[in-house]
Amino acid sequence: MQVAGLTNRGLERSRNEDNCFVKKDGDLALLVVADGMGGHQAGNVASSLVVSTAEKLWEKLDRNVLLSTGGAKDLLDRFIMEANEIIFAEAGNSLSKRGMGTTITAGLLCGNNLAIGHVGDSRAYLVNDEKIELLTRDHSLLEELIQSGQVNPEEAQSHPQRHVLTRALGISRNLDIDIIEQEINDNSNLLFCTDGLTSLVNDDEILALCREIPDPQSLAEALIDLANERGGYDNITVVAATGIGGRAS
């Protein structure tokens, strides 16, 4: 397994409010993307607090304990709740940071066992040679409109409310977290990304580049380059894990 993470300001934003965290040790990996809420103060601070919390989680991770207890789900839940509390408290202590928030999509991979914690509209994909599968559901007003039949999926990329979130870290102490657990087949790939990518690059194009480029660093660079070629109007972050279940490298 190989992992890489890359974040880019894009072509139009004055600063990068995205952040990512990527670490692996053998067949154990922690993958995190966070998109500071655009239009809110100090979104970059909120996403950086997610990363600092992830760093503390990684320092305490024990593969043997994870396997013996099956506690990845609870671990991710506690991690995201802790990050939410830190961001909420920081926002309450500073007028300049009031209202800041962030998405989070975090994956804990142990061998072929995957757990994902998810809040917001950053995404997690499972990719193999044949297909790409979206593992998360966007917590956005647009997704609710699509599910209710008020908006066609084909209209999504140009819809004026596509960036309105219904869940985010830092807004309230009460937080609803999606937790996904899944067994991953050998030689599958994971790709986590912020909406700066998916607003400009569709799933089929992501799949095509994943097939073409096996190296996760080069894949992240290619996807970000493609989003920037199409305008790069938002920050763009890509985290990739390739060769899952193969020999650790």
For the stretch 112-145, pLDDT in tens is 999 999 999 999 999 987 899 999 999 877 666 6
User: What's the pLDDT band for 228 if we cut at 50, 70, 90?
Assistant: very high
* DSSP H or E segment with residue 218: helix 216-229
Helix, strand, coil percentages (3-state) for the chain, rounded to 5, are 35, 30, 35
What average pLDDT does this structure show over 207-226?
A: 97
User: What's the pLDDT band for 97 if we cut at 50, 70, 90?
Assistant: confident
Instruction: Note the pLDDT of residue 62.
Output: 81
pLDDT tens-digit profile of 160-202? 556 678 999 999 999 999 999 999 999 999 999 999 999 999 9
Which residue type is seen at 154?
Answer: E
What topology does CATH give the domain 2-242?
Phosphatase 2c; domain 1 (3.60.40)
pTM given for the model: 0.91
Strands in 132-134's sheet, in edge-to-edge order, are 2-8, 236-244, 188-193, 123-127, 132-134
Which residue type is seen at 198?
Answer: T
Cα 133–138–140 angle (5° rounding)?
A: 160
Cα–Cα distance between 59 and 206 in angstroms, integer? 32
Residue 128: how many other CB atoms lie within 10 Å: 17
Question: In this structure, are residues 36 and 47 in contact, taking their beta carbons and an 8 Å threshold?
Answer: yes
Instruction: Note the pLDDT of residue 248.
Output: 45
Q: What is the per-residue DSSP string for 124-189?
A: EEEE-SS-EEE-S---BHHHHHHHTTSS-GGGGGG-TTTT-BS--BTS-S----EEEEEE--TTEE
- In the chain, the percentage of residues whose pLDDT exceeds 70 is 86
What is the 8-class DSSP label of residue 122? -
Instruction: Note the pLDDT of residue 142.
Output: 67
What average pLDDT does this structure show over 18-30?
A: 95
Chain centroid, CA 220 distance in Å = 13
Q: What number of CA atoms fall less than 13 Å from residue 232's CA on the CB side?
A: 18
Cα–Cα distance between 159 and 153 in angstroms, integer? 10
Instruction: Note the pLDDT of residue 145.
Output: 65
